[in-house]
Structure 1
């Protein structure tokens, strides 16, 4: 049987079929074939999820051939792209049209559909995830039909929906005029970082820090808009502390050459510092050999039903471990801390939450499950992992 693996190698699956459809009709035909055979079908983006949301016994599809910009309107700021477009490609296409996303994370290799489906985000208390920019989408439904969705009643459910309602083949995003950012990176002791945390979050459009547990040093990064337009699309690289200016879509991402596994929880913003301190103490006491940094970011409240930032200003805290090293014992030892602070897991990253846990954490969880059953009564788009949580 064909096999598929995620980016880190932590999820490996065998499936009856791997397919790379060339257009929407071919996606629809593959779904109809699966329906006729009583089989499941899932879509793989770039494999940057660390939990088995993709593995399906029937078929795994890649939308890599469904890539490109379909339409952009600089006047309205709306742009429609094929859903398999990689984020770094999409932001280049937008830049050529004088547009940009108002915020991005520090990885831009995901597919647009995958980034939206899992709630990929950057940092900044005034900014939501990429999913919040979704104002329209085309879905291949469980019956193999094409459905255009732009209803304000359905969009909050569709955003961050893990492909449970259908296969996205194109997305329409609300963009902003393209802009440049000044990036500043500096290092300081973690205690000093925490003392200045509230000020730094309030003083910058985008601020985050990485804590390096072995040295107890924090590396802070701020991003702020500037009026000057850079001469070229690609800014000079920044290695270590320093400053640079460049177009936003080239400043946001960082190169991630080393592979890792990750757990991220989103907690209410007001308890973010206390939660981080508890994680830091646990790591120093029980996991002194872990060298990978802990990342601290902020997010605005939003209305997406399965968003970790649903209804509340949010802090996200991420822990990492080398892909070649064991990680489950480390992550599961920290997870109760996040849960004790009201944490909600990132959908693409490691967690051990049950359906009951998720229903308690997400106020509209059961509504999403009911809508999923309406859209996909036979569970065509459920992997075994997702079936345990959403069936």
Structure 2
């Protein structure tokens, strides 16, 4: 039987069928065939989720071959791409047409569909996740039909939907004119970083910090737009403290050569500093050997039903552990702290929330589940991991 593995190696699956369709019609045919035989189907992007959102017993459908730019209109800012296009490729294609995303995260290896389905985000209190840029989509429904979604009343449900409402085949993004950023990276003691935290968030379009627990040092990073036009697409490398300027789609991402597992929770913005302080104290007291950094970012409120930033300005705090090391005990020891501060988990990262927990966290959770049942009454797009949460 074929084997599918996620990026970090923490999740593997042996489905009956692993396929990589190269057209929307092929995707629809695979879903129709699965429906006729009563089988489940899960779509896979780049496998950058750290939890088993993809694995299915029956069919895993890779979107790798469904990639490329379909249309881009600089006048309207709208661009349509196939859903399997990797973010790195998508942003380059947009740049070639004079467009860009207004914000990105520091990883750009995800498939566009997966980034939207799980709420991938960058940092900046005025900026939402990539999901908030979804202006329209085409999905393959549970019966194998093609459905175009552009109804403003429905888009908030599809923006973070984990592939449960249909399989994305094409995605239309609301973009902005391409722009350049100046990146600045500096190091300072964590206490100094926290004293300057509010000021740094307010003074920069994009600001984040990483706390390195063994050293007590924080590495801060700010990104701000500049008017100068870079001479080339690829900016000069920046390894460690310093400054550089380049096109936004090449400045946002950072190299991720070492593999890891991750837990991230989104807490109300006003609770961010206190939540981080509690996480820091527990790590110092109980987990002094953990060397991987803790990441602190900001995120604007949005209206996506399953977004961790739904209805509230947000701070996200992420903890990491090397892929080859045990992580579950470490993560589960910290998770109650995030929950105590009103946290909501990132859908693609480790958490232990049950359905009742999620229903209490997300005001539109039951509405989403009702829509899922309406669009997929047979549970074609459910999986062993997702069924207890959304059936």
Deviation, structure 1 residue 14: 1.1
Query: 2:305 is matched with which residue?
Result: 305
Provide, for residues 135-182 of structure 1, a one-character-per-residue CA deviation record: whole Å limited to 9, x for no partner.
000000000000000000100000010000000000000000000000
SS at match of 1:306: coil
The residue that corresponds to 2:373 in the other structure is 373
C-alpha distance in 2, partners of 1:22/1:96? 24
CA distance in 2, matches of 1:12, 1:169: 24
Counting only pairs closer than 5 Å after superposition, residues 102-113 of structure 1 correspond to structure 2 as 102-113=102-113
Give the count of matched residue pairs: 391
Matched with 2:21 is: 21
Give the whole-Å Cα distance in 1 for the aligned partners of 2:30 and 2:139: 14
Write out aligned runs for 1:73-152 (5 A).
73-152=73-152
Partner secondary structure for residue 316 of structure 2 = strand
How far apart are the structure 1 equivalents of 2:311 and 2:327? 31
Matching of residue 71 in structure 1 with residue 41 in structure 2: no
What whole-Å deviation, never above 9, does each CA across 1:67-111 have from its counterpart, x for those lacking one? 000000000000000000000000000000000000000000000
Q: Secondary structure at the match of 1:384?
A: coil
Cα root mean square deviation, aligned: 0.3
- Tell me how far apart the structure 2 counterparts of residues 159 and 81 of structure 1 sit (CA, whole Å): 15
Taking the aligned partners of 1:64 and 1:51, their CA distance within structure 2 comes to: 20
Q: State the distance in 2 between where 1:143 and 1:109 align.
A: 30
1:23-42 aligned at under 5 Å gives the runs 23-42=23-42
1:210 corresponds to which residue?
210
**Shift of residue 3, structure 1, vs aligned partner:** 1.2
Deviation at 1:354, TM superposition (A): 0.1
Corresponding position of 1:273: 273
TM-score for both structures, normalised by structure 2? 1.00
For residue 66 of structure 1, report the CA deviation from its aligned partner: 0.8
1:285 lines up with 2:306 in the alignment: no
Q: Which residue of 2 aligns with 1:358?
A: 358
For residues 322 and 85 of structure 2, what CA distance do their matches in structure 1 show? 28
Query: 1:185 maps to which residue?
Result: 185
Tell me how far 1:2 sits from its aligned partner: 1.2
Following TM superposition, the consecutive aligned residue runs of length 4 or more in structure 1 with deviations greater than 4 angstroms are none
Deviation at 1:223, TM superposition (A): 0.1
Tell me the TM-score normalised to structure 1 length: 1.00
Partner of residue 5, structure 1: 5
Gaps of 5+ in 2: none
